[in-house]
Amino acid sequence: MSRGQGRRLVPSYLAPGGSSAPTRNSLQALTVLIATGLTASPHHTPAQQRMLDLTAKGPLTVAESASYLRLPMGVCKILASQLVDDGHLMARAPLKGLPDGIRTPGAERPAKSLLERVRDGLLAL
């Protein structure tokens, strides 16, 4: 086996530092995580520090962070909820399923003309 493909040195259930459930039940796979700019605290686990490093480069969904961190989705929800509680991350609901009148900044639907141009370009391939 090449480096990085073997068994994890630390089991994934230890990544959240002993927590077994997220403090927020509102996090979904497509919830967008946005860094607030605060640096990691000494009490954060290495997995939380890696999540902060990833989101510092740009917003990520919970599913994307799970993929990058190579951790189960449930573990990433726990990590993200702890970081949201600490003020290190902001969580934005996915666009689908929002009640009428509530809009998430940066998650607007693209214009119909743009989608038509993309479709036409793909058909031309």
Q: What is the pLDDT of residues 76-115, one digit of tens each?
A: 888 898 899 888 999 988 765 555 555 555 556 778 898 9
- pTM value? 0.60
Which of helix, strand or coil describes residue 34?
strand
Query: Nearest CA to 74 among 17, 33, 13, 30?
Result: 13
Strands 32-35 and 89-92: antiparallel
Q: What percent of the chain has pLDDT over 70?
A: 69
Q: Tell me phi and psi for residue 70, to 5 degrees.
A: 55, 45
